[in-house]
Amino acid sequence: MTVLEGQPQPVQRVSLGAGWRRAWRTGDWWRHLGLGGFLFFMFLPFIITIIISFKDIPQFDHYPFTVTFPLHPDNYLEAWRIVSRYILNSIITSGTSVVGMVILAAIAAWAFARYPFPGREFFFFGVLALLMVPGELTLIPAFLLVKDLGLLNTRWVLIAPYIAGGQVFAIFILRQFFEALPGEMFEAARIDGATELQVFRHIGIPLSQSILGVVAIMHVLSTWNDVIWPLVTLRSNELMTLTIGLYAFRTAWYTIWGPLMAGYVIASIPLIILFAFTSRLFVEGLSSGAIKM
């Protein structure tokens, strides 16, 4: 959904000052006041994190929550030395699994959407039923499975199950989208002699870029934030992803608040950058991401 859906009138091109005057006249000012209040408390922890991230220990002891000078940007260097490895690991894990997941899910969803093969609904239900299975049920057997497969403490122990699990919801979303694409276009391409693969690659995929982006971003968000699975399957510090790396960092650096908070800030930056470039997909992805469960 785009931002202005259900709002037929175009965006009003008024200067900010006029906007605020209007806000006063129409009685919107108390709405701004209410929203400002909520937003203040929502952002307060982050603001204080940033303030503390520039403090050394004595500064924190005397004035913990106000800005103190001189600032200590070296906290960030110190935190970067520890956190950068975890960020890299998370990028490798989420990046590899999102590529694999999107490719497999797109192929499977295409098969479900466009070919009336015998057993289609049966197999599709076999995918959908997994939406109902919570991680609590599978955590222990899945752990013992990867242990028997000898995957413990490798990158694959995260990537393979992430690809497998991520497909379920992606196939569900992509099938609906592929089915809604106009069939005449594919028919025309076939008549012109395109093979099934060419139809998929050169027409289907380009038409679906934005929904593929949504599915990909949702997958990155959920794998990036996963705590329990990496916690039980990874032991070595070299392989730790951001979530469990930060957890270990917190335990090791407890009460050295400056670098610790700097580490929290650094850890938040990759997704904020991703958000800045793909905010529209993010808004769509986050709203449908919640619907996932």
Are 161 and 229 spatial neighbours (Cβ–Cβ below 8 Å)? yes
Q: Is 242 exposed, middle or buried (CB count within 10 Å of its CB: 0-12, 13-18, 19+)?
A: buried
The reply to whether 57 sits near other proteins by the rule CB under 8 A is no
- Block residue for tokens 């900010």: 16
The reply to whether 71 sits near other proteins by the rule CB under 8 A is no
Q: What angle do CA 229, 230, 231 make, to 5 degrees?
A: 90
The reply to whether 127 sits near other proteins by the rule CB under 8 A is yes
Query: How far, in whole angstroms, is CA 87 from its chain's centroid?
Result: 14
Question: Which two tokens mark 240?
Answer: 């730790």
* Helices 257-277 and 29-52: angle between axes, nearest 10 degrees: 130
The reply to whether 76 sits near other proteins by the rule CB under 8 A is no
Residues in contact with other proteins, shown as a per-residue x/- string from 204 to 223 under the rule CB under 8 A: --------------------
Q: Which stretch binds other proteins (CB under 8 A): 75-83, 91-99, 207-215, 276-284?
A: 276-284
Q: Is 92 exposed, middle or buried (CB count within 10 Å of its CB: 0-12, 13-18, 19+)?
A: middle
The reply to whether 88 sits near other proteins by the rule CB under 8 A is no
Q: Which stretch binds other proteins (CB under 8 A): 69-77, 91-99, 206-214, 282-290?
A: 282-290
Tell me the number of residues near other proteins by CB under 8 A: 112
The DSSP result for 82-93, as a single string, is HHHHHHHHHHHH
Q: Which stretch binds other proteins (CB under 8 A): 68-76, 91-99, 184-192, 207-215?
A: 184-192
Q: Which stretch binds other proteins (CB under 8 A): 1-9, 71-79, 91-99, 204-212?
A: 1-9
Which residue among 21, 81, 202, 250 contacts other proteins (CB under 8 A)? Answer: 250
Which residue among 84, 176, 209, 210 contacts other proteins (CB under 8 A)? Answer: 176
The reply to whether 188 sits near other proteins by the rule CB under 8 A is no
Which residue among 53, 93, 97, 243 contacts other proteins (CB under 8 A)? Answer: 243
Residues 6+ apart with CB under 8 A from 115: none
Are 123 and 112 spatial neighbours (Cβ–Cβ below 8 Å)? yes
Q: Which stretch binds other proteins (CB under 8 A): 68-76, 91-99, 100-108, 205-213?
A: 100-108
DSSP assignment letter at 60: H
Q: Please, which residue, 39 or 77, has the CB nearer to other proteins?
A: 39
Q: Please, which residue, 125 or 209, has the CB nearer to other proteins?
A: 125
* Cα 249 from Cα 265, distance rounded (Å): 13
Residues of span 133-172 touching other proteins by CB under 8 A: 133-145, 160-161, 163-165, 167-168, 171-172
